């Protein structure tokens, strides 16, 4: 449905979207388009929720993000807890500040595979209090989603504040194609009561529940490594069965978790062989097996029909081989492909898609990319036989590009300013 807006004069009347009316798009439509384009660079968006505070939700979010990054994925961690941001401290990034570039806000890097964004990076001091009502919180959440330039991500992990209030509702409404929620609880019945409400919230918003994680499920003795059930155990699994949602596993209490959180080091990075790390790693298959049946976040028909929309006969699809978030120097050795739809007349990117590469087979990629309507492939290096196969598929080949970001390469290519060097491939 096309977005509506309220008359600026304050009459309270609602007007239809300008799409298809011959009028210029409204500011709201332009914001929605920017949000859609930004989210299209992220393959999977996962919300980490809890019905109650104090259950270790942020700890779960941080360690899941770190475990995915350790597995070689490009990961963003978005802290949407406006009043109690903890991600900067848990990643030892407190005191850091975000950058601002023409493409948007630059998140703070933790390592090559993990970046973070939090209101904590915008505060002058860690103990500053934000006394905000709902509309202000909604506004800053939207800014986080549409203005933060994550680049191409495999996963965006969103750490939500506890409960089912403004922040979770805003995120669910703005990310209409979110891939699901992981709900964190502890074994006690008081926590489980609120988690049931959280699951009901997800169902009402048609958000898939990927599963329940039972945190603080037993205590790992620092001397003998045996696990004792000091808080009970199994309550989360029983509740998940009753609510007919998957149970992802139990994470025991480990004294070292408090130590690593205070030091700003994700537990799964510091203690790779512990039972707690294994519990996190056992959750990963549920996330890693997520599949997209169609490109992420296509531009809505209502917006693409507006006067500013692009004549589809004037578009080009560019493919770039990606490894570790940047251009792979040899296209045959890439982990993923970025497929970028461009408006030739205005020399702008209109949509992005990140897709896993097919299994490596000689001669497969030219046909595979041709099936996806690719017009141009840009790579660092490519053998002559592969170049000939692409030419037979009417795909232009640009080689000798350097390992820069996707945005830099495509922008330079559209403007006719892409600098290329020698073909680094020798076969």
What CATH number does residue 324 fall under?
Answer: 3.30.420.130
Q: What is the mean pLDDT of residues 35-63?
A: 90
Q: Where are the beta strands (DSSP E) in 144-263?
A: 153-159, 180-185, 209-220, 227-228, 247-253
For the range 360-363, what are the long-range contacts, defined as Cβ-Cβ under 8 Å and sequence gap of 24 or more? 360/332, 363/389
Q: Considering only 152-156, 202-206, 226-230, 365-369, which range has the smallest mean pLDDT?
A: 226-230
318 and 184 within one domain: no
354 and 253 within one domain: no
- Per-residue model confidence (pLDDT) at position 7: 40
141 and 45 within one domain: yes
More confident residue, 137 or 220: 137
pLDDT exceeds 90 at position 13 = no
272 and 323 within one domain: no
Question: Which helix H or strand E contains 319, and what residues bound it?
Answer: strand 315-323
- Domain membership of residue 8 (yes or no) is no
CB 298 within 8 A of CB 309: no
- Domain holding 342, by residue range, is 310-414
Report the alpha-carbon distance of residue 421 to residue 99 in Å, rounded.
30
More confident residue, 282 or 425: 282
41 and 166 within one domain: yes
177 and 94 within one domain: yes
CB 178 within 8 A of CB 98: no
Report how far apart, in Å, the C-alpha atoms of 198 and of each of 185, 189, 289, 371 are: 10, 14, 24, 42
Tokens 């202000």 correspond to what residue? 136
- Here the tokens at position 322 are 């990606």
Average pLDDT, the chain: 80
Tokens 């001397």 correspond to what residue? 223
Helix (H, G, I), strand (E, B) or coil at 116: strand
Give the CATH number of the domain where residue 200 resides.
3.40.50.300
Residues belonging to the chain: 427
Secondary structure of 29-64 as H, E, C letters: HHHHHHHHHHHCCEEEEEEEECCCCCCCHHHHHHHH
Report the alpha-carbon distance of residue 23 to residue 26 in Å, rounded.
9
CB 409 within 8 A of CB 378: yes
* pLDDT tens string 282-310: 999 999 888 764 333 333 333 233 333 33
DSSP structure class, residue 294:
S
CB 157 within 8 A of CB 76: yes
- Domain membership of residue 4 (yes or no) is no
Report the alpha-carbon distance of residue 171 to residue 22 in Å, rounded.
31
Report the alpha-carbon distance of residue 343 to residue 329 in Å, rounded.
26
Q: Considering 257, 288, 319, which residue would you say is the last residue of a domain?
A: 288
- According to DSSP, the β-strands at 114-118 and 108-111 are antiparallel
Angle (nearest 5°) at CA 169 between 102 and 16: 70
pTM: 0.65
- Domain membership of residue 246 (yes or no) is yes
How many Cβ atoms from other residues are within 10 Å of residue 419's Cβ? 10
178 and 254 within one domain: yes
- Here the tokens at position 34 are 């920017």
Residue 272's Cα: distance from chain center in Å? Answer: 25
- Per-residue model confidence (pLDDT) at position 268: 92
255 and 224 within one domain: yes
CB 191 within 8 A of CB 185: yes
201 and 71 within one domain: yes
As beta bridge partners, residue 417 has: none
Structural domain count, the chain: 2
- Domain membership of residue 427 (yes or no) is no
162 and 263 within one domain: yes
pLDDT exceeds 80 at position 387 = yes
pLDDT exceeds 90 at position 91 = yes
- Domain membership of residue 426 (yes or no) is no
- Per-residue model confidence (pLDDT) at position 233: 65
371 and 261 within one domain: no
- Domain membership of residue 13 (yes or no) is no
Report how far apart, in Å, the C-alpha atoms of 63 and of each of 70, 77, 90, 221 are: 10, 10, 10, 21
- Domain membership of residue 303 (yes or no) is no
More confident residue, 20 or 143: 143
148 and 229 within one domain: yes
- Domain membership of residue 68 (yes or no) is yes
């Amino acid at each position: 449905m096309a977005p509506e807006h309220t008359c600026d004069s304050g009459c309270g009347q609602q007007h239809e979207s300008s799409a298809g009316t011959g009028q210029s798009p409204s500011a709201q439509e332009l914001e929605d388009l920017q949000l859609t384009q930004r989210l299209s660079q992220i393959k999977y968006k996962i919300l980490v929720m809890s019905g109650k505070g104090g259950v270790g939700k942020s700890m779960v979010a941080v360690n899941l993000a770190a475990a995915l990054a350790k597995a070689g994925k490009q990961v963003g961690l978005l802290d949407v807890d406006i009043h109690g941001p903890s991600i900067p401290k848990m990643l030892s990034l407190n005191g850091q500040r975000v950058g601002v570039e023409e493409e948007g806000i630059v998140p703070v890097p933790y390592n090559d595979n993990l970046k973070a964004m939090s209101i904590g990076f915008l505060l002058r001091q860690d103990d500053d209090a934000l006394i905000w009502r709902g509309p202000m919180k909604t506004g800053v959440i939207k800014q986080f989603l549409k203005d933060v330039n994550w680049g191409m991500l495999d996963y965006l992990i969103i750490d939500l504040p506890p409960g089912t209030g403004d922040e979770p509702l805003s995120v669910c409404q703005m990310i209409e194609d979110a891939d699901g929620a992981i709900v964190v609880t502890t074994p006690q019945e008081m926590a489980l009561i609120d988690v049931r409400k959280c699951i009901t919230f997800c169902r009402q918003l048609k958000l898939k529940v990927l599963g329940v994680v039972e945190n603080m499920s037993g205590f790992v003795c620092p001397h003998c490594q045996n696990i004792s059930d000091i808080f009970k155990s199994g309550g989360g699994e029983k509740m998940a069965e009753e609510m007919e949602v998957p149970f992802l596993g139990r994470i025991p209490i480990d004294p070292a978790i408090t130590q690593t959180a205070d030091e700003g080091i994700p537990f799964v990075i510091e203690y790779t062989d512990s039972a707690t790390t294994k519990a996190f790693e056992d959750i990963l298959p549920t996330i890693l097996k997520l599949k997209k049946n169609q490109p992420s976040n296509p531009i809505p028909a209502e917006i693409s029909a507006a006067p500013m929309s692009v004549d589809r006969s004037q578009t080009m699809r560019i493919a770039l081989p990606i490894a570790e978030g940047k251009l792979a120097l040899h296209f045959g050795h890439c982990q993923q492909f970025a497929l970028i739809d461009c408006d030739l007349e205005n020399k702008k990117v209109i949509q992005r898609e990140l897709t896993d590469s097919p299994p490596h087979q000689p001669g497969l990629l030219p046909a595979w990319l041709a099936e996806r309507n690719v017009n141009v492939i840009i790579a660092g290096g490519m053998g002559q036989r592969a170049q000939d196969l692409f030419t037979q598929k009417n795909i232009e080949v640009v080689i000798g590009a350097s390992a820069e970001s996707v945005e830099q390469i495509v922008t330079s290519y559209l403007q006719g300013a892409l600098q290329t060097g020698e073909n680094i491939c020798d076969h």
